[in-house]
Structure 1
């Protein structure tokens, strides 16, 4: 039996399986994002000036996001039709192997234009795998228990922050090497090292069983074409889910872009901002689980709305604190901004589980997250860099964009109250916040 009726060791199999896959996915993406901000402009796009080279590196970063919706649609369809486990094994392999291959790529200086071409191809493979990985991971965690969904489903979300700590810490550690060694081979070690986590993830997922929620699904017609059913019968829920994902997407401003902004615009030592990002990851992992548990007590919508409003109010102070250049103030800025959007991110898994019926749940989560990821999250570092460059370092246009996106999350979660009933197999009290 699933949930708390299971022996405790059996419950932790799906929780570990979901968390480790999420760790691999986001370790790969964060590692690439940090490398894009710090070194890839020199290794793969060296013929450009520094700003243009950074934008080119961020463009390659965005490519992975553009292909995530395709991966989400394709693998989400198979996940609803054939089960969570086989899809999660395939996506884990795609993520881990493509990341290791990036660590083995020759640079522009060695093979010319083929270096960025191969980099983009591997980013596409990453994007396809990542498009369905997180949706499946949170489903396995959320569907594995019968109660306290907010708490247990937040585990894979917390794994995102743990991967942030490890990826950023790896970049910081190896960047301490002499520059010539770091640029030639030191940066490659964290990428190739992801194979170790991949091996552990495959070992755990091999013992994973299908969740009771999936096995209890009775709408066989919906399961034949889950995406068509989703778009025909659950458009309002899909739009709400997309709106809820806008605020978590802002982590790419508060962390990935902040790395580039602090080092290139403010001429801050790289180690200073990296420490801030690492601290935010540690605090974020703890807070994510805390917010998930809080949502079990006060409702999902309450916590999500509060997190979105906090981000709206804090974004101008965030940039003012960064501009101070004082290390502890910079660290506080990065941590507080991250905690604000983690109030939304930590509750997302349980909220999505309750929003969509089980027969279209994998497709619903994957489409909602990956469409907004492709349109918003992927281009955000690129857009942020362009806004700062075009306004001679002024941050108010970017801050206004952040407020607009977080505000849409707040509006979406308010509109969710108009849905006449929670999806099947949910608790109406928690679904309605």
Structure 2
């Protein structure tokens, strides 16, 4: 085996460990969003109307995002001080075990208000662990090698779509059960199946070595007097704010997937299984698109791909809602797939952009903080805010479309103000700008 082939093979160990953890994290989160639409709104919040129950369920969905910044800061500091591996072992256990516990939770009819209270508590634990899970996955994949970083870091990002397909597909399968069976036990099985993924992810991560880039700074990191978060805020504030701004557009999947699922079922009358399968199909295409966008960014740079994806979403959001409101299943699928491929241009390239933007000493803290603060402020509340905007607009989604324009615009502007982080593309631009002597 050649030296290059051996290095590439070695690189797949941390990348696969990162991707597996990402699948577990987002399987749990997408599972919760599907259950919020189909189960939690009726089983955990007492005798309320379907719309009010859905809004309460989305509020508990948002709670997970509210605590994610705290988890990101705490675990990000630990990851920059003691290493990436021990933190990722802890977070995958927190995510998986809390999800399994949700599957075992009695409903409102059985234990009254303890049901929503315990659901919220488990959601908090889930969110705390998730606050560092994806950021850590990006760090590990990004630090596994500098060549083709866009491609390799996009693989954990594609794991988000794999998780969405698994969560939505499994939920759609059990939704085919008679309604009584689904409400009694069917919805619980997808949550309990998380035990398989947790076991596999933990086993892979135990075998994963610490990243080489962290080992190079390990002594310095352990002896540093300032916490990585304080150093990040004092020395890298502009980078942190730009990274957070880029994630505004990266959060739009919660409009085109989570909210669109609820809107198509509750407002437009699409059958639940049809809408769920639409999310599965878009996830299949989106996972491939994520890796393709990441590979493209290795050639043309991170900024052009992010900006292009954001501008396309601005242009497409009104046609998106027009298509799904026509009542055609085929047009619903086309709209969801096209929007999802476009938002993957932001999300798929984000990983390499983040990994290159922050130095190793504060990289874990920088990525976790930038992602999770915007996740709490934007991503988590988006389905709830979008549902409220539809109510305010008398059932129309035009205010939601306007919100998408604003968020995608922030993402495009932040990427435009950022430096090009791809070192090869940046070097070519510098050499091209230097006048040649004659």
Query: Do the structures match in fold with TM over 0.5?
Result: yes
The equivalences for 1:142-181 within 5 A come to 142-181=142-181
| Deviation (angstroms), 1:146 | 2.8
Say whether residues 1:427 and 2:423 are aligned partners: yes
**Alpha-carbon separation, structure 2, partners of 1:432 and 1:88:** 36
In structure 2, C-alpha distance between the alignment counterparts of 1:136 and 1:16, rounded to whole Å: 13
Aligned residue number for residue 342 of structure 1? 344
1:256 is the counterpart of 2:258: yes
Q: Which one of 324, 328, 331 corresponds to residue 329 of structure 1?
A: 331
Rounded Cα–Cα distance in structure 2 between residues aligned with 1:8 and 1:265: 49
Counterparts of 1:33-52 in structure 2 under 5 Å?
33-52=33-52
- Asked whether the equivalents of residues 41 and 57 of structure 2 are also in contact (C-alpha less than 8 Å), the reply is yes
Note closer, same or farther for the CA distance 1:178–1:127 as it changes in structure 2 (3 Å cut). Answer: same
Is residue 23–residue 163 contact of structure 1 (8 Å, CA) maintained in 2?
Answer: yes
Aligned counterparts of 1:231 and 1:77: Cα–Cα separation in 2: 12
Does residue 112 of the first structure (1) align with residue 112 of the second (2)? yes
1:35-74 map, 5 Å: 35-74=35-74
1:196 Cα deviation (Å)? 0.3
CA contact (8 A) 1:292 1:346 kept: yes
Q: Alpha-carbon deviation of 1:427?
A: 2.1
1:170 and 1:346, CA in 2 relative to 1: closer, same or farther beyond 3 A?
A: same
CA distance in 1, matches of 2:281, 2:173: 15
Unmatched runs of 5 consecutive residues or more in structure 1? none
Change (3 A) 1:430 1:271: farther
2:176–2:273 Cα contact (<8 Å) kept: no
Shift of 1:8: 4.1
Count of residues in correspondence between the two structures? 425
Q: Where does 1:79-228 land on structure 2 (aligned, <5 Å)?
A: 79-217=79-217, 220=221, 224-228=226-230
SS in structure 2 of the partner of residue 39 of structure 1 = helix
Please show how residues 13-32 of structure 1 align to structure 2 within 5 Å: 13-32=13-32
Q: Secondary structure at the match of 1:48?
A: coil
2:294 pairs with 1:298:
no
Q: Deviations over 1:137-188 (max 9, x none)?
A: 0111111123000000101000000000000001100000010000010000
Unaligned runs of 5+ in 2: 430-438
- In the alignment, what sits opposite 1:374? 376
Secondary structure of the residue aligned to 2:46 is coil
C-alpha separation between the residues in 1 aligned to 2:178 and 2:51?
24
CA distance in 2, matches of 1:401, 1:222: 42
3-state secondary structure, aligned to 2:325 = helix
Structure 2 Cα separation of the partners of residues 325 and 207 of structure 1: 50
Q: Compared with structure 1, are the counterparts of its residues 304 and 70 closer, same or farther at alpha carbon in structure 2 (3 Å cutoff)?
A: same
- Please state if 1:402 is matched with 2:398: no
Q: CA 1:224 to 1:322, structure 2 compared with 1: closer, same or farther past 3 Å?
A: same
Q: What is the root-mean-square deviation in Å for CA atoms of aligned residues?
A: 1.7
1:161, 1:432 → 2: CA distance?
33
